[in-house]
Every structure is written in structure tokens, then in C-alpha cells.
Amino acid sequence: MKSWLWAVVVAGLLYLAIGLVTSDLARFSGQVWRLVAWVASLVVFVAHIAFERDRLRSAPATAGFHAALAVALGAFGLALAATLRAAAAGNYRGAYALALVAWPVMTGVAAFVAAWGGAVVARGLLNRSSREHR
């Protein structure tokens, strides 16, 4: 498996695990777990972009696309989990089927913009830093 695909799958599974674990914990012990989920997901997101930039030498658009794929994969997993939970509880509605498409698309597009922008800024800062040290 190619390195970028491996990174997408690992990051997507991490997003899914973070979402599932923290949503269960938030049900029992408060909303601080929502913040924990955001911070943990941010760490995965930044680490993925750094891996793309530093190890794979990906262009900003490519790094953004790969990060967006990982986010979309995690969102699809969360939508699928929500759909299965609702069906098991007898609360299934058609909106769950829509979420299987909408969640990955909405989060993927937002992630692409953020990752691409972040990669461009990081590249510019690194280039400026390397020019100043010459």
C-alpha cells in the first residue's frame, strides 16, 4: 500500500475512534469530552499534514486532498455508526442515509481548505526561515 494511502486510512480510523470514544464518554461524564475530541482530532490533522509535507514531500494541494480524504473517511465511519445505532434502537430515519453522504462531503471540503491553506502557510514560513539562515 502506498504511504499516502496508508496515512489516509490510519488518520481516518483515528478520527473514527476519537469520535466514538469521546461521544460515549460525553454521554456519561460531561461535555469536556467534546473539547477533548476537537483537540485530539486537531493533533491527528496537523500530524497528517506534517507527514505529507516532511516525509512524502507532497505539494500543498496534494497534502490537503489526502488530509481531506482521511477526514471524510472518519466522518463516513461516524455517520455509519450513527446509522447502525439508530437502526438497532428502532429510531432509524431517512436523514441517516443522507448523513452517509453529507458528513463526509461537508467535513472533507472544509478539511481540504484548512489543510491546503495550512500547508501553503507552513511552506511559506519554512522557505522564509531557510532564506534567513543563509
Q: What is the pLDDT of residues 88-130, one digit of tens each?
A: 999 888 889 999 999 999 999 999 999 999 888 877 776 666 6
The parent domain of residue 88 ranges over 3-132
CB 66 within 8 A of CB 58: yes
N-terminal to C-terminal alpha carbon distance within the chain: 39
**Cβ(69)–Cβ(12) under 8 Å?**
yes
- pLDDT averaged over the chain? 91
Band of residue 24 on the pLDDT scale cut at 50, 70, 90: confident
Stretch 18-47: mean pLDDT? 92
Give the number of domains in the chain: 1
